[in-house]
């Protein structure tokens, strides 16, 4: 669980900003969003394959 302690004389806005940064760095929100709906294994494999293909194209493009 992510915790952020508010320091003495620290505005709450700054503590919220630190909390949001920690959540983003750990990828908590992304994992929650991805688990919102059930996605079959076949679709996840297909998506990974598409991402790998695109990454390979970009790598070849950079090497030219």
What does the DSSP assignment read for the chain?
Answer: ----PPPTT--HHHHHHHHHHHHHHHTHHHHHHHTSS---HHHHHHHHHHHHHHHHHHHHHHH-
Per-residue model confidence as pLDDT tens digits over 17-43: 999 999 999 998 888 998 899 999 999
Every domain of the chain and the residues it spans: 12-63
pLDDT at 54: 97
Q: What share of the chain has pLDDT > 70, as a percent?
A: 100
Q: What is the pLDDT of residue 47?
A: 94
Tell me what the pLDDT averaged over the chain comes to. Answer: 92
């Amino acid at each position: 669980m992510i915790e952020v302690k508010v320091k003495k004389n620290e505005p709450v806005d700054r503590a919220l900003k630190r909390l949001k940064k920690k959540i983003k760095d750990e990828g908590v929100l992304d994992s929650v969003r991805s688990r919102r709906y059930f996605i079959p294994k076949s679709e996840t494999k297909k998506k990974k394959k598409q991402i790998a293909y695109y990454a390979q194209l970009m790598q070849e493009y950079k090497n030219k």
